[in-house]
Amino acid sequence: MARDPHPFARFVNILGRGKSLTRSLTEGEAEEAMAMILAGETLPEQLGAFLMLLRVKEESAEEIAGFVRAVRATLERPPSLVADLDWPSYAGKRRQLPWFVLAALVLSRAGWRVVMHGVDGHTAGRIYTREALARLGLGIAGDFDEAATHLAARNFAYLPLEAMSPKLAEMFALRPILGLRSPVHTLARLINPFDAPAAMQSVFHPGYMTLHRDASLLLGQRRMSVFRGEGGEAERRPNKPCETLIVEDGVCGERRWPPLLADPRLTADESMDLDRLEAVWRGDAEDDYAAAAITGTLAIALTTLGVERDMASAQKRAEFLWRARDRGRLSAAA
């Protein structure tokens, strides 16, 4: 007996019709497809096929923008949660400690409202932001209301993906099952759940920079910077030039930040001891690489926010903010 096609089957059909007939989803189709996924209106077989067909084809900016709009429609963000800078953190660190966390905390101590969101544990052998913040004694928000409370108290909040969108977190967890990353890894970074006017974006593969920029433009993101960060996180590699694509009030541009360290080689941190984060913050440990990574990342954040317009001024201000930081225990403000 013939059966009517499942409503979601048409999206799989669009993506899987072979070399000559396959096409990308329109932004509207992508939004509709993701809305069905988030509502639990798809079968597991369909979801796996959908994600992997997108992976083989490679997602388009229109598809990512549509997916993001569908996710945002499900979020129940309190109106009191207002942020200046969105800072997604989904990659984890393997070779260097997450120095970008200290850069974000410097910004928050200086008065800018910074919100991070991310996921942990999807790749073995990496340190994720949630673990680093916990070691520093900084609380993790369990929902949007708690994130708003943290932001009001200390200008910084971290909201895990599972608290923000449980269904999206489930899709993230499919990586070891499917054996490959999926478009969810790009999508999550672009959600900007707190509607911050500025966003820090990072990629591991440089080819994704244009995708992030173009999707941000479609979503109306006012200001953003995207660059290949250390380990895939939004952390500048101070021993390398840093090519950055930017959006400033709807206008595209780029910056090429020069290296901050003379030696282009990166020596991996064999201990990856998270206690060193607070030791460096307090000045109990000196680390030239860490200081350069922190101030270099800060400089990119300052231009992303529009606080500084040129690279030299941004780096100078970043170094000042780092020197002038309150070196007390970070957990004191938690």
Residue 85 in contact with residue 200, Cβ under 8 Å? yes
pLDDT band at 71 (very low <50, low <70, confident <90, very high): very high
- What domains sit in the chain, N to C, each tagged with a CATH number? 9-74 (1.20.970.10), 85-333 (3.40.1030.10)
Sign of the alpha-carbon torsion through 230, 258, 307, 325? positive
For residue 232, how far is the Cα from the chain centroid?
Answer: 9
Whether residue 41 is predicted with pLDDT greater than 60 in this model: the reply is yes
Q: For residues 235 and 80, what is the distance between their CA atoms, to the nearest angstrom?
A: 29
Q: For residues 34 and 236, what is the distance between their CA atoms, to the nearest angstrom?
A: 32
Q: For residues 204 and 316, what is the distance between their CA atoms, to the nearest angstrom?
A: 27
Residue 83 in contact with residue 196, Cβ under 8 Å? yes
Whether residue 122 is predicted with pLDDT greater than 70 in this model: the reply is no
Q: Which range has the worst mean pLDDT, 99-103, 261-265, 275-279? A: 261-265
Q: For residues 307 and 324, what is the distance between their CA atoms, to the nearest angstrom?
A: 17
Question: How much is the pLDDT for 333?
Answer: 58
Residue 294 in contact with residue 278, Cβ under 8 Å? no
Residues written for the chain: 334
Residue pointed to by tokens 């999550």: 188
The tokens for 209 are 């920079």
Q: Where are the alpha helices (DSSP H) in 75-207?
A: 100-109, 129-135, 144-154, 161-164, 166-172, 175-178, 184-189
Angle at 214 between CA 127 and CA 298, to 5 degrees: 45
Question: How much is the pLDDT for 283?
Answer: 95
pLDDT digits (tens, 9 = 90+) for 264-319: 887 888 899 999 999 999 999 999 999 999 999 999 999 999 999 999 999 999 99
Rg, Å, the chain Cα set: 20
Q: For residues 70 and 321, what is the distance between their CA atoms, to the nearest angstrom?
A: 38
Q: Where are the alpha helices (DSSP H) in the chain?
A: 9-15, 27-38, 44-57, 61-74, 100-109, 129-135, 144-154, 161-164, 166-172, 175-178, 184-189, 208-218, 275-282, 288-305, 311-323
For residue 252, how far is the Cα from the chain centroid?
Answer: 20
Whether residue 2 is predicted with pLDDT greater than 60 in this model: the reply is no
Question: How much is the pLDDT for 332?
Answer: 65
Q: Identify the three-state secondary structure at position 54.
A: helix
Residue 70 in contact with residue 183, Cβ under 8 Å? no
pLDDT band at 156 (very low <50, low <70, confident <90, very high): very high
Can you point out the beta strands (E) in 223-297? 223-228, 242-248, 251-257
Report percent pLDDT > 90 for the chain.
Answer: 84
The pLDDT mean for the chain works out to: 94
